[in-house]
Structure 1
Amino acid sequence: MTQPDLSAFGHDPWLMLGKALGIFVFLLLTVLVAILMERKVLGRMQMRFGPNRVGPKGMLQSLVDGVKLALKEGLVPAGADKPIYLLAPVVAVIPAFMAFAVIPMGPVVSVFGNHTALQLTDLPVAVLYVLAVTSIGVYGIVLAGWASGSTYPLLGGLRSAAQVVSYEIAMALSFAAVFLLAGTMSTSGIVAAQDRTWYVVLLLPSFLVYVTSMVGETNRAPFDLPEAEGELVGGFHTEYSSLKFAMFMLAEYVNMTTVSALATTMFLGGWHAPWPVTLWDDANGGWWPLIWFVTKLWIFMFVFMWIRATLPRLRYDQFMAIGWKVLIPVSLAWIMVVAVLKSVGRNGVVPMILATAVTLAVPVIVLRIRRARRRPVRPPVTQSFRFDPLAGGFPVPPLPGKGVHINVPDHVGVEAPIRNGKPIVNGSVLTGGGGHHG
């Protein structure tokens, strides 16, 4: 495995302090903009207006919401475990900021005459550091649900624990293929390995698994089971108010930013300029790469919002089945494919694309075969049938597009479509017999 060059980090403590402060301010501003943008994007996608009252075109809405939360009264439930109850928001928000420390946002630049990389620090196992820190952040949600002393927050915390176990495994496995191809776990080394071809082209299955996993990892719709308002009345943060509630929201959006930045680093070339901007000689020099990095990051942030406006929340069994029965098996199979191609020296663009097509085609074929086997076979109905509108006790006519459950000897529960108020079986209209409307 290639050893990364870490000589550009950790020389000037004041410069490191300045970069840490810059990352903190960048994340706070990103959260403010993301909240406002999400509300506006959801409004446009749902054929309604978003915030348009506070400030010019509603641009100050996020700031005002933060001030409003800060001025609210902070309540502590009587049955709560107070020390852990107060500690849980801190445990959730601090790791969210810490994970961004190893994200490379640009190359080496000149800052007040000092040459430094646009990255706080780097490690030989930087990606594993991100996985470890984000896993600790989930404990804030689990502790918040347990310490609230209420049933519904506890259920949300338990769901979060199961969620992080399943989707953290899939996320880590999606990175294994990147490690094999790049030869390093250093984030700056992975970006440097994508100077010609981005890994989204070579490792498309890993990218798809990671994008799915990062939505589940951040508890975002349609995987927002820990805070499902329909059945949990808000979920793990039901008993929180004021700044403590705001800290959970801050942690959620900072985690969105972190996983988006990690996706950019691992699969979209990091701060490298996209084609055809690369035709410009200075595209990857100076401060320009910071623009490319932020643009890619916001593409993923928009995808988060798009998914929330489009997809309904999954059932819990569906959610867990995707993690254990789809993402993890596909990741394991794809790692084996990448390892074999790497060992035989066939890790070019064309072999990897062919391997991607085969890897993605096999699960689709298997799912189609399983669905075909599970599809019930309806027995033919030859006896006549007459629709009775009063069979259920109420005069309800059959609705357009709905069927009638036919109860005839040896054929119970067969559903037939309706045409002109009469059921259609085997292409013909039934006119006699008995049954009931389904």
Structure 2
Amino acid sequence: MFSLEGITDAIYSWLNSTFNPTIALLIEFAIVVVCVIGLFAVLGLVLVFMERKVSAYMQIRLGPNRVGFKGSMQTMADTLKLVLKEGLVPDGADKFLFNLAPFVVMIVAMLILAPIPFARNFQMWDINIGVLYVTAVSSLSVIGILMAGWSSNNKYSLLGAMRSGAQIVSYELSAGLAVLSIVVLTGSLQLSDIVNSQQDGWWIFKGHIPAIISFVIFIIAVTAETNRAPFDLAEAESELTAGFHTEYSGMRFALFFLAEYVNIFIVCSIGAILFLGGWMPFHIGNWEAFNHVMDFIPSSVWFFGKVFFLIFLIMWFRWTFPRLRIDQLLNLEWKYLLPISMFNLLLMTLMAIMGWYF
């Protein structure tokens, strides 16, 4: 049966039998780099096409339907257009920071992928503080956004960057508390341990109502953190043209655009790992026959299926709810989500201490 774990084991065995350990390790690093870049490229193409088709379905229209089969090559054509366009730098811009900002955002996204288990025994770095690593590194993307807004020497870009910084820093608190509620249940910060702890059931089911509340808060918070509608105040077209990347064009704009969709994939991956079992199949208690059938589905299919379900959920938000004002956005976080998250974490801690979960 197809297995990512089997592919990695075969490559590892061949490299170590053919080359000395140092050369084999360097080749493994090179393969990982190529795979990450390839994953980014594929995600950009697939998620943009998915976004257009989902929005078209929501609005009872066709979406892209001319380039390729049912418009499947439209995103490839758009990518080619962006590659061929000239990248312009405004006269008054800080050229070094202006050029650096898109790469900061992309590098942060690449770093976050390291501890994510895409399938059984298939991850780049099984670090024992995986949750802490992800939350710490993800907060660095604010630096790239602020850098882009300030270096553009454009008041709309600066205002968009400041909004984005306030938004991301605010909603990180609720997202972090939602993540901590699952860490309290598992007793580990290691993502592989969190997945393995859900062998007899996913935490969204085993954790009762507090786990469901944490899941809802997490989805709302990460939607805001990725600057997605209805929380896209940083890129409000009707007010700020394109927000912090107003002055960007060509490949620099493409990097910001790609980073947004990769970040959506990453936060949905974390959500799937914490609440929906990651690559773990759907098991029900002692139903041996049912659980055995579920085990036949490859772990990578389970993981990507859950992730794309959550991505669809976030896209559904965009085409359902109107954009909030900046004061409404911050009120939602500080007056509602944060107090609820803190109370929910206390409730989850009590539940974990008393053993009131499946």
Identify the TM-score tier after normalising by the shorter chain: 0.7 to 0.9
Q: Which residue of 2 aligns with 1:330?
A: 340
Is 1:221–1:308's contact at 8 Å kept on the other side of the alignment?
A: yes
Q: Which residue of 2 aligns with 1:234?
A: 242
Aligned pairs (5 A) from 1:96-135: 96-107=109-120, 117-135=121-139
In the alignment, residue 334 of structure 1 is paired with which amino acid? N
Is 1:27–1:257's contact at 8 Å kept on the other side of the alignment?
A: no
Q: CA deviation at 1:138?
A: 2.1
- CA distance in 1 between counterparts of 2:291 and 2:140 reads 42
- CA distance in 2 between counterparts of 1:303 and 1:252 reads 16
Is 2:283–2:291's contact at 8 Å kept on the other side of the alignment?
A: no
In the alignment, residue 26 of structure 1 is paired with which amino acid? L
Q: Which residue of 2 aligns with 1:170?
A: 174
Q: Residue 213 of structure 2 aligns to a residue in which SS?
A: helix
Is 2:199–2:283's contact at 8 Å kept on the other side of the alignment?
A: no
Q: Which residue of 2 aligns with 1:342?
A: 352
Q: Which residue of 1 aligns with 2:229?
A: 221
Q: Which residue of 1 aligns with 2:162?
A: 158
Is 1:318 the counterpart of 2:322? The answer is: no
Counting matched residue pairs gives 330
Is 1:221–1:307's contact at 8 Å kept on the other side of the alignment?
A: yes
Q: CA deviation at 1:160?
A: 0.9
Is 1:245 the counterpart of 2:256? The answer is: no
Q: Which residue of 1 aligns with 2:306?
A: 296
Q: Residue 101 of structure 1 aligns to a residue in which SS?
A: coil
Is 2:171–2:225's contact at 8 Å kept on the other side of the alignment?
A: yes
**Structure 1 vs Structure 2: percent identity of aligned residues?**
41
Deviation by residue 1:219-260 (Cα, 9 ceiling, x = unmatched):
000001111001111111111100000000010000000001
In the alignment, residue 196 of structure 2 is paired with which amino acid? A
Q: CA deviation at 1:48?
A: 2.0
Q: CA deviation at 1:20?
A: 4.4
Q: Which of 43, 52, 55 is the matching residue for 2:56?
A: 43
- CA distance in 1 between counterparts of 2:82 and 2:28 reads 34
Q: Which residue of 2 aligns with 1:149?
A: 153
Q: CA deviation at 1:283?
A: 3.8
Is 1:188 the counterpart of 2:192? The answer is: yes
Q: CA deviation at 1:76?
A: 0.5
Q: CA deviation at 1:100?
A: 1.1
Is 2:201–2:282's contact at 8 Å kept on the other side of the alignment?
A: no
The structure with more helix, counted as a fraction of residues = 2
> What CA RMSD, in Å, does the superposition of the two structures yield over aligned residues?
2.0
Aligned pairs (5 A) from 1:247-286: 247-275=255-283, 279-281=290-292, 283-284=294-295
- CA distance in 1 between counterparts of 2:57 and 2:111 reads 34
Runs (5+) with no aligned partner, structure 2: 1-8, 13-20
Q: Which residue of 2 aligns with 1:361?
A: none
Is 1:60 the counterpart of 2:73? The answer is: yes
The structure with more strand, counted as a fraction of residues = 1
Is 1:93–1:248's contact at 8 Å kept on the other side of the alignment?
A: yes
Is 1:125–1:186's contact at 8 Å kept on the other side of the alignment?
A: yes
Higher relative contact order (CA closer than 8 Å, sequence separation 6+) = 2
TM-score (norm: length of structure 1): 0.72
Q: CA deviation at 1:323?
A: 1.0
Q: CA deviation at 1:49?
A: 2.2
- CA distance in 2 between counterparts of 1:308 and 1:175 reads 23
Deviation by residue 1:188-247 (Cα, 9 ceiling, x = unmatched):
010011111211121111111100111011000000111100111111111110000000
- CA distance in 1 between counterparts of 2:119 and 2:49 reads 27
Q: Residue 102 of structure 1 aligns to a residue in which SS?
A: coil
In the alignment, residue 214 of structure 2 is paired with which amino acid? S
Is 1:283–1:289's contact at 8 Å kept on the other side of the alignment?
A: no
Work out which of the two has the higher radius of gyration on C-alpha atoms and give 1 or 2. 1
- CA distance in 1 between counterparts of 2:37 and 2:137 reads 16
Q: Which of 197, 212, 230 is the matching residue for 1:204?
A: 212
Is 1:187–1:265's contact at 8 Å kept on the other side of the alignment?
A: yes
Q: CA deviation at 1:123?
A: 1.2
- CA distance in 2 between counterparts of 1:18 and 1:82 reads 33
Q: CA deviation at 1:94?
A: 1.1
Q: CA deviation at 1:275?
A: 5.0
Runs (5+) with no aligned partner, structure 1: 1-7, 108-116, 350-438
Q: Which of 74, 95, 100 is the matching residue for 2:108?
A: 95
Q: Residue 226 of structure 1 aligns to a residue in which SS?
A: helix
In the alignment, residue 129 of structure 2 is paired with which amino acid? V
Q: Which residue of 2 aligns with 1:403?
A: none
- CA distance in 2 between counterparts of 1:90 and 1:209 reads 30
Q: CA deviation at 1:27?
A: 3.1
- CA distance in 2 between counterparts of 1:15 and 1:73 reads 35
- CA distance in 2 between counterparts of 1:230 and 1:274 reads 44
Q: CA deviation at 1:28?
A: 2.1
Aligned pairs (5 A) from 1:68-83: 68-83=81-96
Q: Residue 307 of structure 2 aligns to a residue in which SS?
A: helix
Q: CA deviation at 1:331?
A: 1.0
Q: Residues 75 and 35 from structure 1, CA distance in 2 versus in 1: closer, same or farther, beyond 3 angstroms?
A: same
